[in-house]
């Protein structure tokens, strides 16, 4: 296993050569890939609330939970708005754009992301499994109403469904909620087909379902690569560890592929 390879040209070239001959590449991404877009890395919600309790004196995990949006949606929406505003003002980074460009080089390129910022799609990626959902889609908590929104700026304090009048919420996984069935099914389907190279980028990999693609990939002979300045829960699972930022590492790999 390569340890602390950073941008060792031999390792970068090895990864690039494997990608050039790959039939399938998977990118598993977390908050770290969006830092170059100006978003904070986050534990749950991010560097926005790493200092402790919120203004209400409650942990952010309790405020941004499925229980809170049902019990007191105004409190939950207050913080959802702050998150959405930060995401809305961000632009896809060079790392996002390189990931999107892989779709033009590798027949099966997929992104499995924990991020709710929609930056992969905005960068041009079409095969995206947003396992934690998206802040840009709203759904009624009482009926089947769904809607895409570009901004929360014109929404009511607690947005209401135009059909039935019930509160609406983002189609994002809040604390204490299960993953969307459609995302889980898509993830299982693509992992069953398999990948030749699997990247883990900017994620601490604390969730078992985020480590699972790496474990399964290694069992099937895939090359596994972690891009993260810090050690993570998956660092011991990968073939190569690039200890640097997403943009720098992906740029070096992409250049060798060209």
pLDDT for res 44 = 38
Backbone phi, psi, residue 135, to 5°: -75, -15
pLDDT for res 88 = 86
Same domain for 85 and 203: no
Q: Which residues pair with 29 in a beta bridge?
A: 113, 201
Mean of pLDDT values over 124-148 = 96
Same domain for 194 and 166: no
Report the share of the chain in percent with pLDDT over 90. 83
Question: From CA 142, how far away is CA 130, in angstroms rounded?
Answer: 23
pLDDT for res 254 = 97
Is the full-model pTM beyond 0.85?
yes
Mean of pLDDT values over 22-48 = 79
pLDDT for res 121 = 95
**Is 96 among the residues known to form the active site?**
no
pLDDT for res 239 = 97
Same domain for 151 and 96: no
DSSP 8-class letter at 35: G
Same domain for 239 and 206: yes
CATH code where residue 70 lies: 3.30.1600.10
pLDDT for res 3 = 42
Q: Give the confidence band of 45 by pLDDT, cuts at 50, 70, 90.
A: very low
Question: From CA 135, how far away is CA 146, in angstroms rounded?
Answer: 12
Q: Is the pLDDT of residue 202 over 70?
A: yes
Same domain for 112 and 50: no
DSSP 8-class letter at 54: -
Same domain for 15 and 76: no
DSSP 86-115: HHHT----HHHHHHHHGGGTSSEEEEEE--
pLDDT for res 149 = 93
Q: What angle is formed at CA 211 by the lines to CA 90 and CA 36, rounded to 5 degrees?
A: 20
Domain range holding 48?
40-89+135-172
pLDDT for res 56 = 83
Q: Give the confidence band of 4 by pLDDT, cuts at 50, 70, 90.
A: very low
CATH code where residue 205 lies: 3.40.50.1220
The pair of three-digit structure tokens given for residue 125, joined into one six-digit string? 């990626």
Q: Is the pLDDT of residue 137 over 70?
A: yes
Q: Which of 34-38, 158-162, 167-171, 182-186 has the lowest mean pLDDT?
A: 34-38
Same domain for 245 and 141: no
Same domain for 223 and 148: no
Higher per-residue confidence, 168 vs 60 = 168
Same domain for 144 and 81: yes
Same domain for 24 and 113: yes
Q: What is the mean pLDDT of the chain?
A: 91
Q: Do residues 202 and 246 make contact, with C-beta atoms less than 8 angstroms apart?
A: yes
- Residues composing the chain: 258
Q: Do residues 179 and 173 make contact, with C-beta atoms less than 8 angstroms apart?
A: yes
Q: Which residues pair with 147 in a beta bridge?
A: 138
The pair of three-digit structure tokens given for residue 148, joined into one six-digit string? 């895409």
Same domain for 104 and 45: no
Q: Which of 172, 192, 221 is the last residue of a domain?
A: 172
Among candidate residues 96, 132, 236, 240, the one labeled active-site is 132
Q: Is the pLDDT of residue 107 over 50?
A: yes
Q: Give the confidence band of 116 by pLDDT, cuts at 50, 70, 90.
A: very high
Number of domains in the chain: 2
Report the share of the chain in percent with pLDDT over 70. 93
Same domain for 247 and 192: yes
């Amino acid at each position: 296993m390569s340890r602390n390879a950073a941008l060792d040209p031999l390792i970068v070239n090895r990864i690039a050569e494997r990608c050039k001959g790959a039939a399938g590449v998977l990118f598993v991404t977390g908050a770290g890939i969006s830092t170059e877009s100006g978003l904070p890395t986050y534990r749950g919600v991010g560097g926005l609330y790493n200092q402790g309790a919120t203004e209400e004196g409650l942990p952010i995990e309790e405020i941004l939970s499925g229980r809170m949006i049902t019990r007191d949606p105004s409190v939950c929406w207050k913080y959802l708005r702050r998150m959405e505003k930060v995401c809305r003002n961000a632009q896809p980074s060079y790392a996002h754009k390189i990931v999107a460009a892989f779709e033009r080089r590798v027949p099966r390129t997929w992104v499995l992301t924990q991020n709710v910022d929609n930056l992969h799609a905005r960068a041009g990626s079409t095969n995206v499994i947003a396992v934690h959902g998206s802040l840009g889609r709203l759904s009624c908590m009482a009926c089947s109403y769904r809607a895409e929104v570009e901004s929360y700026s014109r929404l009511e304090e607690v947005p209401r469904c135009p059909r039935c009048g019930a509160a609406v919420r983002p189609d994002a996984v809040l604390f204490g909620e299960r993953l969307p069935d459609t995302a889980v099914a898509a993830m299982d389907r693509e992992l069953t087909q398999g990948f030749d190279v699997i990247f883990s980028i900017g994620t601490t990999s604390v969730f078992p379902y985020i480590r699972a693609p790496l474990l399964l990939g290694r069992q099937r002979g895939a090359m596994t690569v972690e891009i993260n300045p810090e050690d993570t829960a998956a660092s011991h699972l990968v073939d190569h560890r690039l200890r640097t930022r997403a943009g720098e590492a992906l740029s070096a790999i992409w250049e060798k592929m060209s």
